[in-house]
Structures are given as structure tokens and as C-alpha cells.
Structure 1
Amino acid sequence: MLKIRGLHSGYGRIEALHGIDLDVPEGQVVSLIGANGAGKTTLLMTICGEPRAAAGEIIFDGRDITHLPTHQIARLGLAHSPEGRRIFGFMTVLENLQMGALVTDPKYFDEDLERMLVLFPRLKERLTQRGGTLSGGEQQMLAIARAMMSRPRLLLLDEPSLGLAPLVSKQLFANIAEINASDAMTILLVEQNAFQALKLADQAHIIVNGRIELSGTGAALLKDPAVRDAYLEGARPRTEVVK
């Protein structure tokens, strides 16, 4: 569904991605793990059109979207739940979900709203509450639900468990697994919790200093001694290359 070849991107004269090649097959969860500053968030943002790719190509469902504006990319069926949630804090939960649905046919709104409130029942209890007053976990649920309201075919999730308590994170990962299973949703997941990211993943990649250094199935990377040493078992992610 998503094919990235030779992707270079960055900010001004600072290049953050150095020739990324990545495939996200339809219906799969593909996880991307790596240390802070490795280029994970830049990759997701570049897929969405900001920053622009300096070189290479991004093909989504057979169409080159490398130079399309972000709003056109969204209308093609690609949704992004960004790092830090970035919900509209002054808007209610319902209004945030309405914003997510702007790129879709209004006839689906009631159906999609009900589906999100079943998936995230806490949001149903907070429907008229301002987003900025929600807990961190509730805000992350809202960020994902808002993205889902656009009826995407590909969902980009950036650090969904960041700053959340372990029990809340566990529930959130269960929600992500359910979205993939029940909706056959294709997901590209960026996540610091390497264990959960690899456990969920059909395919996974490790990015180091803007380059993909290791790829494989999630199960295989979970068993890889070098990966376990660098990213699992309580270790802090290292910046050196994993081989």
C-alpha cells in the first residue's frame, strides 16, 4: 500500500533522512523503532507532506504523493495521529471528532462516531468535555479516534504511548490491535516502547541516524540478541548501528 524509495528529508540544510526505503503492505502493522532523534517522526511527517521530501519518492496505493499538499494526501485515505496528540484543546471531544471527519462524506458520520465510542468508551463519557481537560490517556484515545474519523486506509501513529501510565498504554495497544484486526486497517506505528511495537508488528524496522539499519518480522526482531540488548529489557536505545 505504501512504498518509499530513496527518501531524503530534513529541515533547511539539516538532512534527517538519508535514503529511506520502506514498504507497508496492505492490512499489516509495520513498526518503526529507534532512539530519539533517529528520524522516526520526520519520516511520518514527510509522508504527510511537511516537511517536503528533498529526494526520493512516496507511493501510496499506486499513486505518487511525494509532492502533493497535505490536504490532498488526507483525502486519498491517509491519516496521521501525531506525536504529542495535538488535539484541539479548546474544542469538545465531539468537535474534535467532527474535525477529523471533514475529509469524508457526512453520511458516514453517525456510523463512524458510534464505532469510535464503542472502541473508546471513555470518550463517550466525555463527549461534551473540552479536549484540553482530558487525561493524557483520554487525549491519546481522542487523537487516534479523530484520525480514524477520516476513514483512512493507512493510519500513521506517532508515539501513541508517550507519557502514559503502563496500564493505560497496555489498553491503548489493545485498541490498536483491534483496529488492525476488525477494520483490516493498515498501520505504520512509530513507538518508543519497543517491546509492544515489535509484539504488534507484522514487519518492523530499526532506524538509526536517518537510515534503516535492520528489518524483519516483529517476532524475529523480538528474539534478536542485538535488538534485545539495545532496545528491550529496560535498556536505553543506543544511537550506534544495530547489526
Structure 2
Amino acid sequence: MTDLFLLTAAQMRRIKPYFPLSHGIARVDDRRVISGIVFVIRNGLRWRDAPREYGPHKTIYNRFVRWSRLGVFNKIFAELARKAGKPARLMIDATHLKAHRTAASLLKKGLFLRRIGRTKGGLNSKLHAVCDGQGRPVIMLLSEGQMSDYKGAALIIDALPPARELLGDKGYDADWLRQALAERGIKACIPSRSNRKTPIEHDRVLYRQRHKIENMFGRLKDWRRIHTRYDRCAHTFMSAICIAATVIFWL
């Protein structure tokens, strides 16, 4: 077990309150199964290739899918991020996540959207994220790859926590976004686009801190099932992202 991942007892105590209640027969050991899910996502394995120390691979896979549909992993991420307190500084950005051929069908089947789009780089999804001043994600949104940055910002702006300032690149230089931030008492530190007739000044020294959200994306993409999307369903892929963000930044 030396090379395997295992959640500590302290980490389990933090996330256990958000687990669904067990009805009837007691569940298989939560610590072992959740650790197996983390191991598979981090190393980009097929579920059937999960080490036998974590138990039957079907148990691990079924728990991941069932709890993904219930939104359990999303809730754990959101609650742990909320308990960290109100950040003084926010950063916003987005990154592309390439869809593997096993998940890359654009044809919608079933109830849930796939959130896979087509760009010059092929079929991919886009992860929009807001992080705090330490580079820890607090809000995440999955969309089709062709969605622009400021359209993604429009979907998450109502969920922004109170903050003093928000850092973003030129992709977020839109008058409506600056106005929306001002109404919330948030100062925008966003460079002007090259085609803006009257450039808007920004704090260049403060803007250098924006590398922290880029570092955050890099750490998420170190997990192989995040860097390349294998999941056909958007809710399972988003659950994998939430699991990675929770383990890396909030546990």
C-alpha cells in the first residue's frame, strides 16, 4: 500500500458530513472506496485497473457514478471552499480540457448535456474558474470549448463572493462586466483589449499575481483524467474536477 493513496482520518472527518445517508445494508468502507476513486482519477486509469487493495472496481465505479448524479462531490468542494472564509482578492480565468475520442461524440443522448464543443484544437470542454488570492478555486463551471471567457463570467458572476478586487486577462475586458463588478464593490484589475478606443488603466503590479490561477489550472491538469476528458457525461467529469480540487487545495 506504500504507493497507493489513502485519505487520512482527519480528511475523512471533514468530508463525511456531506455523504448521503446509508439505508438498509451498510455501505462498503467509505475511506477505502473514496481513496480508490481519487487514485483512479489522479493516475488516469481505467476503473477496471484500480488496485485490488481498494476493493472491487465495480464498487468504486458505481459509487463514483451514483454520487456524481447526486452532486455529492460538487457539494463537498463548494462547502469546504465556503468554510475557508471570504477572500479579499479574486482571480478569474478559463482553460481548455481536451476530450478523448471515447467521450468526444457531439450527438446528445440522454437527459444530461455533455458540455463538449468544437474549436480549432478539436473537441474539448472549457473550465471556467474563480480562485482566491492564494490560488485556491472557489467557483468552477464546465462549458463547451467554444464558449468565450466573458460569457462564462456572465454565468458565474452572481455567485462571486464579496471581495476587494478581481484580476482577469484581456478576455474579460467588457464594459458590462466592469459595471457588474463595480455594483458589487469589486475593483476590476483587467487589461484593456487592443481594439478599445480609450484604454482603461489597471494596476500592473497587482496584475502580476494572476499567475496563481494559471498555477491552479496546472495542478489540476497534473491529474490525468482531468487533463484529458474520458467521461462522456458532463456531471461525472465535473465531479472528477471537484474531487481533484478538493484533495489538492481544501484537504
Q: After TM superposition, is the score higher than 0.5?
A: no
Structure with the higher fraction of residues in strand conformation? 1
Structure with the higher fraction of residues in helix conformation? 2
TM-score (norm 2): 0.25
TM-score (norm 1): 0.26
Larger Rg: 2
